[in-house]
A and B are shown apart, each in its own frame.
Chain A
Amino acid sequence: MIIDYEEFENSIDPKAYHKGEWRWEEDGCTVTRTSHYSAPGCHDSCGLLAYTKDNKLVKVEGDPLDPAANGRLCMRCLDLVEAANNKDRLKYPLKRVGERGENKWERISWDEAGEMIKAAVKKLEDEGYGHESIFVANGTGRNTVWQVPLVAAALKTPNVGATNLSGQSCYAPRIFGTFAAMGDYLVTDVTQACEKRYSDPKWEVPDVLVVWGNEPLKSNADGFIGHWLLPAVQMGTKIISIDPVLTWWGARADYWLPIRPGTDEALALAWLNVLTQEDLVDHEFINYWCAYYDELKEHVAKFTPAWAAEISDVPEEDIIASARMYGSAPKGAIQWGLAFDTQVSAMEMCVTVTDLMAVCGNIDKPGTMKIIRNAFDVDAGESTSDIFCGSTFNKKLTAAVFGCEGMEFNGSVDSDAVNVAMESGEPYPIKMMWSQSSNALACMAFDAPRTYRAIKDSVEFCVYADPYMTPSAVAFADLVLPVSMSIERDSARTWWTPLRTMKKCTSYYEAKSDEEIVVWLGHLLNPEVFNRWPTAMDLVNDYIETALAITDENGNAVKPGFDLSFDLGADQRDAYDIHTKFRPIDSSKTAFDDLTESSCGYRYDEWNDTYEKYDKGMLRPDGGKGFNTPTGRIELISTVLPVWGIDKYPVHHENQQSVKWLNDPEYRKRYPLYCINGSRSYEFFHSEQRQMETMREFHPEPLVKMNPKTAEEYGLKEGDWVWMENECGRCMQKVTIFEGIKDYCLSAEHGWWFPEQEGAEPNLFGALDCNTNNLTHVYETGSHNIGAPRKTVCVRIYKVRPGDTMPGEQVTRLGGFRDYVNREY
């Protein structure tokens, strides 16, 4: 075994790595010890040493003294010099001069940009539209999540969120699912909440790790660095992999369960069946801390392994044996991921797997699933717009547009509802759009061709803010604003723990940071709210100190963020205090400077570094033992779900294409293969890094994994370009033969565009040609509009031939792939 954490720590030469210093001079460079948090991606913030000279980033290496990542940077951060100094970066605000899509721009000043925005807002008002007719789009969870909602606050609209991310189908379903069952969130415990990391004497090595519906090594999703798991594996953690595709985990697993895509809930219910029928549960934990166990046992009695085997295409004996292995482990953890969210059973799946953790007592004990919150309760996020947008709040586009009943719990806008508003003008039209750090057309949006039409036909004024010109900006924007990269901004982060700062090291032409853009726009359009933050640094400090909370007319604190007891009307905590739990070490310094200079840019909090918090009165607002739920226990059958308008008994649902694939032989003949959409790679974070030469050297083109039998049947070989097509559209990728996938499945990559190609329409940097979202559709979602079928897409394939019409041409010139009928896919 190579890993010996104490030995590793002791081996780091404190002088060579300047222990305790946050900035120094070395080899003619200034070296800054800081954390990276977009742009460019990802969800994490690894500590690095930035070498800068003459206002330019010249070298990056990982910081071995940073406990969060231990200096172990991924290839993308190691290539940051290429990102920051890339010839494609935007230097100045740009105004569109040709038609939309022509990629013709003229440099303007920030003042002129401000005048354009003010004029557009005035026009909207003069025409009688409310500010709710402005849609603010953000991307996935990076260092824009707490800032972009303030764009919405500046524009006084409640509608901020993702662009056609149907069913909020990324991460949010897992949050909602665990909150429904237990009022808090859970992550696999591999010491990330403790500064001592793997030498923490409190920690124990998990006995079994279930890697389910994600490849954490490549995705690093949800604030979790996948390679954190590797020391545990070296120390003896056994693996169960549940994934239709073989991964590093599957190849090293005691059990690899290659399920049919979208059938995870059937398997999860069958595991619960085995655990309850064979009594492989932790009765002590259940008796003390859970409610409704008997009701759960009765509910899952009918979901036998034989039943699940039929649905999931996993042998019955493997379901039983793997469930026993998980259930018998003293300490089990379930590393859950995106595939939980990208199916219509998302809510059901997330509560069922929370139950799987709970019945085995794998809750907040060392080496199991850790209850985690944002460090020092710094919780600003999408809900921030709710408390600042003013009177438009009640007009927010939610699941109610689709007739969903029950209390609204989704802090984000319902993106399907935004699409309805764009296409039909109901309940009101969308006239203006502001997109910051999101390249939806190439990446996030379900049904990219439909998204193209919807935005282009409805939005009259569109702003894009990004470090690079993107296909989405070319297609839609009237104004493009240049955004600073992480290395060029003073910022802060809490997504779980530790609390971290990003220290500005360089500047880039006229690019502004997300914080600077927000403050600039706010002073321009909504000074009443934004006078609170004279500068971007004031905003950052306020974020750390109050999480941007406000005091209402009764003197009570109103905090952004999601809290079950608050949302159910029972919050009693700190009613008058808007402050977070952050307190500076050096009180003469601002919060940002204190963090950056007094503790090298990071600080761990005690709350997260505590186990069995339910036994210590740390979860409930009343300070009592137990969980933050109506019963104070983990509700194995949730009493919250019915309040949200969702059936409290979780069952498995198939998406519409799967129903046809299973029951209609004609359909299956037409579309015989599942395309699992969104396979990750080390080189890229979503649609980013395509400009970076080194990343493209390692990964030049989009790849679709195909079983050798499938390839032979279709006469395809390694490197052939192949069309994937269904009733929604088509896209092409390059075949790579891969033994570890079922012969009726393909695994395709997402986010591809080609900055080296023509940007103007019809090509749009090739963003539509290889886009697997051409195969997806909007408006099919799970319970309460949560979860959507992204990875369960049925397709046919055939070889690309010279002269074939490219999807870019089809979408931008030939009217798309089909008629887009409102509210049907």
Chain B
Amino acid sequence: MKGILVSYDFCTGCHSCEVACKKELGLGKEEYGIKINELGPHKYENGKKTGTWEWTFAPMLTKACDLCASRTEQGKMPMCVQHCQAWCMAYGELDELVKKLDGKSRYAFLTPLES
């Protein structure tokens, strides 16, 4: 199965994936194929991480995403991955991508609806 691996500790919330996708899919205002969620900034006052900051960005796929099927057929990358300024997204077979997990950052797999 194909999908996108995101090393979201490094996501900077730059919106490139969102805009690249919107333009490719011809989406309008408030419509996204991929959308970044933002958590924080917030300083922990409890638990083991007390005194440290949480400020995390993480993209999620919407119903509109088809992993840029028409692009990947031609050998091109999905728009979001191609334009990820933070180098934190990779596209491919999940079996292959899983080898990149190293426990040194938080990761998420994103897989869209099968059309």
Chain A positions near chain B (C-beta within 8 angstroms): 1-3, 11-13, 15-17, 59-62, 64, 71-75, 78-79, 81, 217, 227, 230-231, 233-234, 246, 248, 250-252, 256, 682-683, 693-694, 697-698, 738-740
Known: A13-B76, A16-B74, A251-B40. A72 touches B83 (CB 8 A): yes
Closest A residue to B85 by CB, please name it: A227
Q: Give the shortest distance, in Å, between A247 (CB) and chain B (any CB).
A: 9
Set A16, A73, A78: member contacting B75, Cβ < 8 A: A16
Q: Give the shortest distance, in Å, between B31 (CB) and chain A (any CB).
A: 10
Set B18, B55, B77: member contacting A246, Cβ < 8 A: B55
Set A3, A230, A683: member contacting B12, Cβ < 8 A: A230
Closest B residue to A17 by CB, please name it: B76
Cβ contact within 8 Å between A75 and B16: yes
- 10 inter-chain pairs at a CB distance below 8 angstroms, sorted by A residue, are A12-B77, A13-B76, A17-B75, A73-B85, A81-B23, A233-B10, A234-B7, A246-B55, A248-B13, A248-B55
Q: Give the shortest distance, in Å, between A252 (CB) and chain B (any CB).
A: 8
Known: A230-B86, A246-B55, A251-B40. A61 touches B20 (CB 8 A): yes
The 3 closest A-B pairs by CB, nearest first: A13-B75, A16-B75, A251-B55
Cβ contact within 8 Å between A251 and B53: yes
How far, in whole Å, are A256 and B16 apart by their CA atoms in the complex? 27
Count of inter-chain pairs, beta carbons less than 8 A: 117
Cβ contact within 8 Å between B16 and A739: no
Q: Give the shortest distance, in Å, between B33 (CB) and chain A (any CB).
A: 13
Cβ contact within 8 Å between A231 and B87: yes
B105 CB-CB contact with A under 8 Å: yes
Known: A246-B41, A248-B55. A227 touches B19 (CB 8 A): no
Cβ contact within 8 Å between A72 and B84: yes
How far, in whole Å, are A697 and B18 apart by their CA atoms in the complex? 12
Known: A1-B102, A250-B53, A697-B30. A64 touches B14 (CB 8 A): no
15 further interface pairs, Cβ-Cβ under 8 Å (given A227-B12, A234-B87): A1-B105, A3-B87, A13-B75, A64-B82, A73-B85, A79-B19, A217-B12, A227-B14, A227-B85, A248-B55, A251-B53, A252-B53, A682-B14, A694-B19, A739-B40
Q: Give the shortest distance, in Å, between B84 (CB) and chain A (any CB).
A: 6
Cβ contact within 8 Å between A230 and B23: no
Contacts of A60 in B (CB 8 A): 23
Cβ contact within 8 Å between B55 and A71: no
Known: A1-B102, A2-B5, A250-B53. A73 touches B20 (CB 8 A): yes
Q: Give the shortest distance, in Å, between B7 (CB) and chain A (any CB).
A: 5
Cβ contact within 8 Å between A74 and B7: no
Q: Give the shortest distance, in Å, between B72 (CB) and chain A (any CB).
A: 9
B65 CB-CB contact with A under 8 Å: no
Q: Mark B31-73, 1 if CB is under 8 A from A, else 0.
A: 0000000001111000000000111000000000000000000
How far, in whole Å, are A74 and B13 apart by their CA atoms in the complex? 11
Closest A residue to B22 by CB, please name it: A694
Contacts of A13 in B (CB 8 A): 74-76
Set A2, A75, A250: member contacting B100, Cβ < 8 A: A2
Contacts of B105 in A (CB 8 A): 1, 234
How far, in whole Å, are A17 and B74 apart by their CA atoms in the complex? 9
Q: Give the shortest distance, in Å, between B41 (CB) and chain A (any CB).
A: 5
How far, in whole Å, are A11 and B5 apart by their CA atoms in the complex? 15
Known: A1-B102, A61-B20, A227-B86. A75 touches B53 (CB 8 A): no
Set B53, B74, B85, B90: member contacting A74, Cβ < 8 A: B85
Known: A1-B100, A2-B7, A230-B86. A73 touches B40 (CB 8 A): no
Contacts of A71 in B (CB 8 A): 82-83
Closest A residue to B87 by CB, please name it: A3
Q: Give the shortest distance, in Å, between A67 (CB) and chain B (any CB).
A: 14
Contacts of B89 in A (CB 8 A): 2
Q: Give the shortest distance, in Å, between B70 (CB) and chain A (any CB).
A: 10
Closest B residue to A78 by CB, please name it: B19
Q: Give the shortest distance, in Å, between B109 (CB) and chain A (any CB).
A: 12
How far, in whole Å, are A250 and B88 apart by their CA atoms in the complex? 19
How far, in whole Å, are A75 and B80 apart by their CA atoms in the complex? 11
Contacts of A683 in B (CB 8 A): 15
Cβ contact within 8 Å between B10 and A230: yes
Known: A61-B20, A73-B16. A230 touches B87 (CB 8 A): yes
Closest B residue to A697 by CB, please name it: B29
Closest B residue to A59 by CB, please name it: B23
Closest B residue to A739 by CB, please name it: B41
Cβ contact within 8 Å between B12 and A61: no
Cβ contact within 8 Å between A62 and B83: yes
Contacts of A75 in B (CB 8 A): 14-16, 18-19
How far, in whole Å, are A250 and B12 apart by their CA atoms in the complex? 12
Known: A61-B79, A78-B23, A739-B43. A251 touches B54 (CB 8 A): yes
Cβ contact within 8 Å between A2 and B23: no
Contacts of B55 in A (CB 8 A): 246, 248, 251, 740
How far, in whole Å, are A299 and B7 apart by their CA atoms in the complex? 46
Closest A residue to B21 by CB, please name it: A78
How far, in whole Å, are A2 and B90 apart by their CA atoms in the complex? 7
Cβ contact within 8 Å between B16 and A15: no
Closest A residue to B91 by CB, please name it: A11
Closest A residue to B54 by CB, please name it: A251
Set B42, B84, B104: member contacting A1, Cβ < 8 A: B104
How far, in whole Å, are A246 and B42 apart by their CA atoms in the complex? 10
Cβ contact within 8 Å between A61 and B75: no
How far, in whole Å, are A248 and B41 apart by their CA atoms in the complex? 9
How far, in whole Å, are A15 and B76 apart by their CA atoms in the complex? 9
Contacts of B104 in A (CB 8 A): 1
Closest A residue to B104 by CB, please name it: A1
Known: A59-B23, A75-B19, A246-B53. A2 touches B88 (CB 8 A): yes
How far, in whole Å, are A397 and B12 apart by their CA atoms in the complex? 43
Cβ contact within 8 Å between A698 and B15: yes
Closest B residue to A246 by CB, please name it: B41
Set A61, A693, A738: member contacting B83, Cβ < 8 A: A61
Contacts of A227 in B (CB 8 A): 12, 14, 85-87
Contacts of B85 in A (CB 8 A): 72-74, 217, 227, 230
Closest A residue to B52 by CB, please name it: A251
Contacts of A694 in B (CB 8 A): 19, 22
How far, in whole Å, are A231 and B84 apart by their CA atoms in the complex? 12
How far, in whole Å, are A248 and B30 apart by their CA atoms in the complex? 25
Set B22, B42, B84, B87: member contacting A739, Cβ < 8 A: B42
Cβ contact within 8 Å between B29 and A79: no
How far, in whole Å, are A694 and B26 apart by their CA atoms in the complex? 12
Cβ contact within 8 Å between A16 and B76: yes
Contacts of A72 in B (CB 8 A): 16, 82-85, 87
How far, in whole Å, are A355 and B4 apart by their CA atoms in the complex? 45
Closest B residue to A8 by CB, please name it: B87
Contacts of A246 in B (CB 8 A): 41, 53, 55
Cβ contact within 8 Å between B15 and A682: yes
Closest A residue to B107 by CB, please name it: A2
Q: Give the shortest distance, in Å, between B26 (CB) and chain A (any CB).
A: 11
Contacts of B82 in A (CB 8 A): 61-62, 64, 71-72
How far, in whole Å, are A739 and B55 apart by their CA atoms in the complex? 11
How far, in whole Å, are A251 and B40 apart by their CA atoms in the complex? 10
How far, in whole Å, are A795 and B69 apart by their CA atoms in the complex? 53
Contacts of B16 in A (CB 8 A): 72-75, 78
How far, in whole Å, are A81 and B86 apart by their CA atoms in the complex? 23
Closest B residue to A227 by CB, please name it: B85
How far, in whole Å, are A738 and B53 apart by their CA atoms in the complex? 13
How far, in whole Å, are A60 and B15 apart by their CA atoms in the complex? 16
How far, in whole Å, are A59 and B20 apart by their CA atoms in the complex? 11
Contacts of B19 in A (CB 8 A): 75, 78-79, 694
Cβ contact within 8 Å between A1 and B7: yes
Set A1, A15, A78, A256: member contacting B20, Cβ < 8 A: A78
